[in-house]
Amino acid sequence: MIAATGFDRRNVAVLGLGKSGLATVRALEAGGARVFAWDDAEAKREEAAKEGFRLADAVAWDWSAFSALILSPGIPLTHPVPHPAVLKARAANVEVVGDVELFQRAVNASGIPARIVAITGTNGKSTTTALIGHMVRRCGGDAQVGGNIGRAVLDLDPPQKGTVYVVEVSSYQIDLAPGLAPDIAVLLNITPDHIDRHGTIEHYADVKARIFARQAHGDTAVIGADDALTMEICTRESARRAATVVPVSVGKALSRGIYVLDGIVYDSTGTQTAKAGDLREIKTLAGAHNWQNAAAAYATGRALGYQRERILAAFESFPGLAHRMEIVGEAGGVRFVNDSKATNADAASKALATYDNIYWIIGGKAKEGGISSLEPWFAKVRRAYLIGDAARDFAEALKGKVEAIHCGTLDRAVEAASRDAAADKADLKVVLLSPACASFDQFTSFEERGDVFRAAVQERLKARGGAAA
């Protein structure tokens, strides 16, 4: 755990007691703060009470007594309306920040030359974070991986000389971290998402771009160059001449930067363009979207001082990320792929673009825009299996384009898709859970949804003598 310093013997309010919130309370108490915690959900308060935390109703907090409000990223800061506690804190001139801000301050205060790599983007940030962490370890470094993936950022080990913090940060976390100053900042892409929490796509992009705001000479900004919003940010950061900007791209050559053409990585950061490696045979990095992740990770590795041969060797041993195009089993020419982390259409498009002969399990709590943007890949889908709240709307969107079956639940969808795929004579068929939806209609998280899919597949494979991953 990293102790959150700077609030010794001062009152601090923590609102939101999920994984990061509980870690924040522990870290603040370890740093000497007097913490008053609250969550609007009774179950979360009960969990905090079991740890002996001081609970106090946020509605009754005396803001004149507090030095800061530490807000969990899931609680609205600006849109659709700020949480009442945020409004009261601001009216009392109490700063409102999040756990990533406390993390940055603690690392700064330690005086230890640890390095921070922060990764964001609409899609691919978890895979890229995991890949960079794996690369750092394989290249002999001490990687502490967490943030919006895995361990809460304040639950990571305290800094030591040579520690590399590899931290996934969401737009919500960036919004609450005005002091964030990573040594290496990675922005992969920006597509419409979380508009309900940011108001407009332009504000969403502005928040994402703040990951670079406090970078200075000697830092590195790795920026995707394959969509208009990130390209604009790349141009702006290059003109600012603060950090060294490294553009990354898939499908187009860059005069400067890292790019991937047909699975081959090219390094154009020096005086000559060099072929850096081949990603085509790495199953856990299949597809153009993973090539972008790998290009960003490669750029990060080079900024950390690693040799290209060691970086590519690390990529070859990358085990992949759970719930993101995770191969969970294969039998009789049928591959089962868990892509539960594809919670919006753009994320689902990556798996659809990678495979053919797809038996697609789709649905849940729909995001803005639905699945209309996925039509270019409908021809790759043999049949769709609809689950959750979005089933009716998705059936209408697929009408006349893809045969769709209403299954309702994930278990029934796995059963139907498995049966249909097994009857297909193609050499490779893919039963793909890539829902293009949030999970909260039937599950507590995309992880739970993916776990249910994996368990259902493995049960079927075990009964039929197939291979589970």
Beta strand 404-408 with 365-366: parallel, antiparallel or unpaired?
A: unpaired
Which of 44, 83, 134, 194 is the catalytic position? 194
Rounded to 5 degrees, what are φ and ψ at 97?
-140, 180
Contacts of 152 (CB under 8 A, 6+ apart): 19, 20, 22, 23, 24, 99, 146
Distance between CA atoms of residues 23 and 40, nearest Å? 17
Catalytic annotation on 365? no
Closest CA to 383 of 342, 429, 347: 429
Contacts of 133 (CB under 8 A, 6+ apart): 143, 145, 166
Which of 44, 83, 88, 125 is the catalytic position? 125
Catalytic annotation on 367? no
Contacts of 209 (CB under 8 A, 6+ apart): 187, 233, 236, 237
Amino acid at 430: V
With b for 16 or more beta-carbon neighbours within 10 A and e for fewer, the 203-221 pattern comes to bbbebbbbbbbbbeeebbb
Q: Which CA distances in Å does 203 have to 47, 169, 178, 193, 347?
A: 35, 17, 15, 11, 21
| Structural Rg of the chain based on CA atoms | 23
Catalytic annotation on 125? yes
Do 219 and 182 touch, CB atoms closer than 8 A?
A: yes
Which of 11, 123, 148, 293 is the catalytic position? 148
Distance between CA atoms of residues 143 and 119, nearest Å? 14
Residues assigned a catalytic role:
125, 148, 194
